[in-house]
Chain A
């Protein structure tokens, strides 16, 4: 989704959102719902499932038309009585005015919004039925809802296609055709459609798939190598553990739940600890005090050895375990610390 709002050439991705004036506005921002909406939803019989503060995956914005486009991506559709329906019902109450008020856009009453669910191409009809069901039920208890639409994502042999129904309320002209829709990325035969993960973890810091795990591992590896390798010209340098986390996940500082972040941080510390153990053998002095890591005693010869190691096959093949419970230990009591 992010690439659809960035400047790009169609040789990679056709940025249809950007082409129609939409810009990426927010990632993972929650939109608190009103007390009235929550109360009325719970007063329905049966109660309409509801979340106090739903978080769409991304929100696009078109300033010239004062339009928001909150987007939630799902691998498949879901029914109106499922757990996922809570978020959907809540998002349906997030009108343009509501979003503008919460996120601080000027003149909130002048803003409109269309909620967009992006699902697999075969799930669009069912998804529309679910949203329609929820919207009707919310309307029946006097809860204002926003316009909404469903965008299907189809992976065809020659590319990735997006489509909506022609009568859809989604304010994107390029999408207004039935299947197969508009090709936003060309694929060669047998090509995997997944693009680079700009954000390797969702805000819960959950690792759901093998590629995601690998991407995060490699980011940890090169984050550490970059922080060390780029400063070896100095006799002494240092960085904080949070610097390492930011070198791994650019959105780290503002990302995710604290417990989940601590989990990932401990795993990264454990990996770094193993690397430091090897670097010490090369003659460098590494001191760790609280969250600060300092490297000392760096001569040109040692710097060369360390750079050679950090670009070696041995370093490249070094295992990084980010998921096992066994690595989630507190190292503060260990005599060797780091």
Chain B
């Protein structure tokens, strides 16, 4: 007998997950969490596929997948049994819902992304979270309890010259927990939104590490909430799966619109025109400019270049052969190892300039901001062309990017 998904429709899957979430909430209340909470991992494909071919994306995993009806949602199994559900929510994004224990679930999701060049996580930078916080949570839910986790780790301040360059990807000392002696800030806050709104700006101005938001819990309508993590994971701490899914969908749609706008502004594109005597060309695009709040020390700068690009190690997953113009300026015509797409950098202790060739996923911008805030400079300021990143996200949320009179409506927006 052939195996089937066991579910007849997408609705049946949601009903099942709603029940599961409700039962977990009761267990939490009884302080008895026998099984895992639902986690949703939002992933992005590049290039977009219409329809999104989920079975093809699972090639690297070895998982068995069973379609649920014909609605592009699948139940997936590994050797240990049912892992969860994967559903396409657009031609570019999918959600992976699982109730495996957290450590195992995280490992599964990360390995899937790492081994699939068409997949990347959703990357929610501190600045992105700040827009959600200031524009949605604080004004609309002032009395609700909200949780923040902040994390900044000055990884590149280590003396990494001792680490030997290795071509063995398994010998990645970078990820080893043994390296702990470095400047780091890890904090959590759970408090009513209104109260946080009163002291958070002051905290951030005195200690910029509080700008590196790693997790933000958005309150649910009734009780509990949904914890959004910087790498696209959402933990459902509420008895209502459908509400959580809807929140995730909203955040993802905002992310998608912002990403498309970033690509529209930034992509370096050749415009060619046929003339009588041949072709004429022009070049459109805009740089991404990351301005560090303080110049990086020489050691941090050198470490950052060596680890990230020369060794292709570290959290940013970039690679390239640095061309040193001087001791404090480097050009890198490189690759983003998440999606193996081209990306060009100019980096100095003071700033980073990034050029995206046409076709390179704008997700890279969100990822850069997330990881630079977390591992290099939490106070970094980023501009997409001449638009501040935070303003771009906020304007997208408020629908201002569709305004005919806005700066985004320039018909030659990239020119």
Given contacts A6-B385, A222-B334, contact A196 B346 (CB under 8 A): yes
Instruction: Tell me which of A3, A188, A196, A231 contacts B344 (CB under 8 A).
Output: A196
Closest 9 CB pairs of A and B: A7-B385, A229-B340, A192-B325, A230-B340, A218-B333, A9-B383, A312-B167, A7-B286, A29-B280
Q: Which of B113-132 contact A (CB under 8 A)?
A: 115-118
**What is the minimal beta-carbon distance from A221 to any residue of chain B, in angstroms?**
7
Stretch at the interface among A76-84, A165-173, A247-255, A274-282: A247-255
Q: Which residues of B contact A308 (CB under 8 A)?
A: 167, 169
Contact (Cβ within 8 A) A190 B310: no
Contact (Cβ within 8 A) B342 A247: yes
Stretch at the interface among A19-27, A35-43, A112-120: A19-27
6 further A-B contacts with Cβ under 8 Å, apart from A7-B385, A12-B351, A218-B334, are A29-B280, A30-B278, A188-B295, A191-B326, A198-B283, A218-B321
Which residue of A has the minimal Cβ distance to B165?
A: A313
| 8 A-B pairs with C-beta separation under 8 A | A3-B287, A23-B415, A196-B331, A214-B323, A223-B342, A230-B117, A233-B118, A253-B272
Kindly state whether residue B210 has any CB partner on chain A within 8 Å.
no
Contact with A along B339-355 (1 / 0, CB 8 A): 11110111011110101
Given contacts A229-B340, A316-B310, contact A195 B346 (CB under 8 A): yes
Contact (Cβ within 8 A) B337 A311: yes
Kindly state whether residue B107 has any CB partner on chain A within 8 Å.
no
Instruction: Tell me which of B281, B289, B310, B327 contacts A9 (CB under 8 A).
Output: B289
Task: Tell me the complex Cα distance, A188–B326, Å.
Answer: 11
Contact (Cβ within 8 A) A27 B328: no
Task: Tell me the complex Cα distance, A303–B319, Å.
Answer: 18
Contact (Cβ within 8 A) A192 B321: no
Please report the total number of A residues contacting B with Cβ < 8 Å: 64
Task: Tell me the complex Cα distance, A10–B379, Å.
Answer: 18
Contact (Cβ within 8 A) A313 B167: yes
Contact (Cβ within 8 A) B319 A311: yes
Instruction: Tell me which of A23, A231, A251 contacts B281 (CB under 8 A).
Output: A251
Contact (Cβ within 8 A) A192 B326: yes
Given contacts A215-B333, A229-B117, A233-B116, contact A222 B383 (CB under 8 A): no
Q: Which residues of B contact A233 (CB under 8 A)?
A: 56, 59-60, 116-118
Contact (Cβ within 8 A) B268 A196: no
Given contacts A2-B283, A23-B415, A26-B280, contact A250 B117 (CB under 8 A): no
Instruction: Tell me which of A9, A304, A307 contacts B386 (CB under 8 A).
Output: A9
**What is the minimal beta-carbon distance from B395 to any residue of chain A, in angstroms?**
15
Q: Which of B257-306 contact A (CB under 8 A)?
A: 265, 268, 270, 272-273, 275, 277-287, 289, 291, 295
Task: Tell me the complex Cα distance, A250–B265, Å.
Answer: 17
Q: Which residues of B contact A231 (CB under 8 A)?
A: 117
Kindly state whether residue B225 has any CB partner on chain A within 8 Å.
no
Contact (Cβ within 8 A) B383 A226: no
Task: Tell me the complex Cα distance, A25–B282, Å.
Answer: 6
Contact (Cβ within 8 A) A232 B342: no
Q: Which residues of A contact B346 (CB under 8 A)?
A: 195-196
Contact with B along A187-220 (1 / 0, CB 8 A): 0101110111011000000000001001100110
Kindly state whether residue A104 has any CB partner on chain B within 8 Å.
yes
A interface with B by C-beta (< 8 Å): 2-3, 5-9, 11-13, 15, 23-30, 32, 102-104, 188, 190-192, 194-196, 198-199, 211, 214-215, 218-219, 221-223, 225-226, 229-233, 247, 250-251, 253-255, 300, 303-304, 307-308, 311-314, 316-317
Kindly state whether residue B329 has any CB partner on chain A within 8 Å.
yes
Kindly state whether residue B32 has any CB partner on chain A within 8 Å.
no
Instruction: Tell me which of B291, B350, B383, B414 contacts A188 (CB under 8 A).
Output: B350
Contact (Cβ within 8 A) B167 A6: no
Task: Tell me the complex Cα distance, A94–B334, Å.
Answer: 40
**What is the minimal beta-carbon distance from A256 to any residue of chain B, in angstroms?**
11
Contact (Cβ within 8 A) B286 A194: no
Kindly state whether residue B357 has any CB partner on chain A within 8 Å.
yes
Which residue of B has the minimal Cβ distance to A225?
A: B335
Please report the total number of B residues contacting A with Cβ < 8 Å: 72
**What is the minimal beta-carbon distance from A190 to any residue of chain B, in angstroms?**
6
Contact (Cβ within 8 A) A232 B289: no
**What is the minimal beta-carbon distance from B264 to any residue of chain A, in angstroms?**
11
Kindly state whether residue B106 has any CB partner on chain A within 8 Å.
no
Q: Which residues of B contact A2 (CB under 8 A)?
A: 283
Q: Which residues of B contact A222 (CB under 8 A)?
A: 320, 333-335, 342
Contact (Cβ within 8 A) B283 A27: yes
Instruction: Tell me which of A24, A27, A190, A226 contacts B415 (CB under 8 A).
Output: A24
Task: Tell me the complex Cα distance, A214–B325, Å.
Answer: 11
Kindly state whether residue B311 has any CB partner on chain A within 8 Å.
yes
Task: Tell me the complex Cα distance, A223–B343, Å.
Answer: 10
Q: Which residues of A contact B270 (CB under 8 A)?
A: 250-251, 253-254
Q: Which residues of B contact A8 (CB under 8 A)?
A: 286-287, 289, 383, 385-386
Task: Tell me the complex Cα distance, A23–B285, Å.
Answer: 11
Q: Which residues of A contact B289 (CB under 8 A)?
A: 8-9, 11-12
Contact (Cβ within 8 A) B326 A225: no
Contact (Cβ within 8 A) A27 B282: yes
Contact (Cβ within 8 A) B335 A7: no
Q: Which residues of A contact B312 (CB under 8 A)?
A: 311-312
Task: Tell me the complex Cα distance, A338–B217, Å.
Answer: 56
Contact (Cβ within 8 A) A215 B280: no
Task: Tell me the complex Cα distance, A316–B323, Å.
Answer: 12
Kindly state whether residue B412 has any CB partner on chain A within 8 Å.
yes
Q: Which residues of A contact B158 (CB under 8 A)?
A: none
Which residue of A has the minimal Cβ distance to B286?
A: A7
Given contacts A11-B289, A199-B283, contact A188 B348 (CB under 8 A): yes
Kindly state whether residue B82 has any CB partner on chain A within 8 Å.
no
Kindly state whether residue B358 has any CB partner on chain A within 8 Å.
yes
Task: Tell me the complex Cα distance, A215–B323, Å.
Answer: 8
Instruction: Tell me which of A24, A32, A223, A317 contacts B283 (CB under 8 A).
Output: A24
Which residue of B has the minimal Cβ distance to A63?
A: B412
Q: Which of B311, B328, B333, B348 counts the most chain A CB atoms within 10 A?
A: B333
Contact (Cβ within 8 A) B331 A215: yes
Contact (Cβ within 8 A) A28 B414: no
